[in-house]
Amino acid sequence: MNEYETALAAFMRKSAFTLIRIFPRRVSPRMKIPKHHLTQLLNERVMKSFYTYINEYRIAEAVAR
């Protein structure tokens, strides 16, 4: 799961603002991890839904910029 968490952070830095419609089924192949592992990572490690994670990331980045 640590590798998946690192991959998710890298993906977010690179693609959070370039993709208009982000869905787990589109993100997981780009990260090269199964969709259910992405969902499990977010639910168990980050304790957020996919959409909450994306939105909070985008808001935090916008505020930082």
Instruction: Report the 10 Å Cβ neighbour count for 8.
Output: 21
Instruction: Report the 10 Å Cβ neighbour count for 14.
Output: 11
Element (H, E) at 51: helix 50-64
Per-residue pLDDT of the chain (65 residues; tens, 9 = 90+): 788 888 888 888 888 777 777 888 888 888 888 999 999 999 999 899 988 998 898 899 889 88
